[in-house]
Structure 1
Amino acid sequence: MSFVFPNSQAIPVGVVIRKSPGVTRWAEWAWRVVDVLAGAPDAQWTVLRQEGDVTDYHAGTLPLELYVSDTEAYVHELQTRDPSLYIVLSPDVSSREFPWKVTLVTASPYEGQDYCDSDEVMVERIAMPEGMKAWIGDYISRHHEEEAFVKRKRKNMRVDDVEDGIGDPRISQTSDVYRSPRRNKEVLK
């Protein structure tokens, strides 16, 4: 089920994944995202190029969706040295030939970071095409509103009346429980 949010925009993005021989004895193949195709049609693991043991696949097409609530993240990403898209790949246990499925394409570095916290998915960062930078920049110019910084003010509450750290009031003591230990004068001689 797909929801339509007001002022959101989407563009289909194809994800190109390269399969190459693994460099260790533990991994027969290495899989990594090498490119994105803006406006790509639907595809499922279509071979784009093959040279020896290296194969580039159009692994899938997902919408890159922009939301008004995430414009701060898009601004942050476009201001970096190398603006990027974040592609989330999940393990595909139903396929023996292709161990990954494309789960998400996002321009939000915050959302990409959220997925990095999981060890069940792989997050790949790929350079954002120039046309996509312009499209996202246009979206930001139409929808982003800078939030003014508001410093919080302390409430009119007296904090010096509270006697923190004096211990349990039921036990009588002559001083603070967090005092330093007294030195024994006889031990020092």
Structure 2
Amino acid sequence: MAKAANNCIEMPLGVVVRKSPGVTRWARWNWRAVAVLPGAGPADWTELRREGEAVEYHAATLPLVLWSSDAEAYMINLADGTPSIYLVLRESEAADRPLDAVLVTASPYEGQDYADTSDDIVEKIAMTPGLIAWVRDFALAHFEAEGFVKRKRDRKRVDLVEDGRGDARIRQESDVYRAPGRRVVQ
């Protein structure tokens, strides 16, 4: 397959975050990313719908950037049972919004990198069918499978035993494990 000319493409992606009552006294609210909106316009915690105490917000619209160098990661994501978008959220300093949406990515490797820190919340959101097709087309255009290369052993004989000699690369005529001798000073 011929390689595509562009090494990256971008699409605005809106993220929907649901706020529901917490189940313990230590967590008053439970925040979960529930959907993505491909091609969405700008938003800043716009309320979409309310069901009792549960509220869904269009939290933000972030650019989803696909890089040709990450094509293998996108292929692994697509091979998963549920291809997903990873949303990175951080606690906000501002009083008018509880969390800041920092990044959206289709790379499970990048999502894992952000999940390794305790500062970020990483949410996995199922891709829409159109988004799956868009990511798949890009990944197939840029993915190059690496061929298997069998490792060759060196020809050094490892069955020879030289007890007490230490490292064979270091010249030493005596036993390297012997107790140090006393030097007599005259």
Task: Pick the TM interval, shorter chain.
Answer: 0.7 to 0.9
Aligned residues: 168
Q: 1:20 to 1:154 in 2, by over 3 A?
A: same
Residues 7-62 of structure 1, C-alpha deviation per residue, up to 9 Å, x if partnerless? Answer: 20010001111111111111221111011100011111111112221111111111
1:172 pairs, out of 173, 178, 184, with 178
1:151-162 matches, within 5 Å, as 151-157=150-156, 159=158
Question: CA 1:164/1:126 → structure 2, altered by over 3 Å: closer, same or farther?
Answer: farther
> Which runs of structure 1 show a deviation greater than 3 angstroms over 4 or more consecutive aligned residues?
155-171
TM-score (norm 2): 0.81
Write the deviation string for residues 73-127 of structure 1: whole angstroms up to 9, x where unpaired. Answer: 11111111111111111111x2234221111111111111111111111110111
Shift of the alpha carbon at 1:158?
5.0
- CA shift at 1:154, angstroms? 2.8
Q: Distance in 2 between matches of 1:154 and 1:41?
A: 58
Question: Structure 1 residues 166 and 141 mapped into 2: Cα distance closer, same or farther (>3 Å)?
Answer: same
Aligned CA-pair RMSD: 2.4
SS of 2:29's partner is strand
Aligned partner of 2:139 in structure 1 is: 140
State the TM-score, normalizing by the size of structure 1.
0.80
What is the CA–CA distance in structure 2 between the aligned matches of 1:63 and 1:54, rounded to whole Å? 27
- Cα distance change of structure 1 residues 20 and 143 upon mapping to structure 2, 3 Å threshold: same
Shift of residue 66, structure 1, vs aligned partner:
0.5
Q: Distance in 2 between matches of 1:39 and 1:7?
A: 20
2:71 maps to a residue whose letter is: T
Measure, in 2, the Cα distance between the counterparts of 1:76 and 1:37. 22
Partner of 1:18: 18
- Per-residue CA deviation, residues 138-183 of structure 1 (Å, 9 max, x unaligned), is 112211111111122234445566858866944438xxxxxxxxxx
Query: In terms of mean alpha carbon deviation, does 124-133 or 146-155 score higher?
Result: 146-155
Alignment gaps of 5+ in structure 1: 1-5, 174-189
CA distance in 1, matches of 2:96, 2:31: 12
CA spacing shift, 1:149–1:58, aligned 2, 3 Å: same
Q: Which runs of 5+ in 2 are unaligned?
A: 1-5, 167-173, 180-186
For the 8 Å contact 2:165–2:176, the answer to whether it is kept is: no
User: Where does 1:123-138 land on structure 2 (aligned, <5 Å)?
Assistant: 123-138=122-137
- Secondary structure at the residue paired with 1:24? coil
In the alignment, the residues of structure 1 paired with residue 37 and residue 100 of structure 2 have an alpha-carbon distance, to the nearest angstrom, of 16
Give the aligned partner of residue 32 of structure 1: 32
Partner of 2:85: 85
Q: CA, structure 1 residues 26+166, in 2 after alignment: closer, same or farther (shift >3 Å)?
A: farther
Find the residue that maps to 1:25 and give its secondary structure.
coil
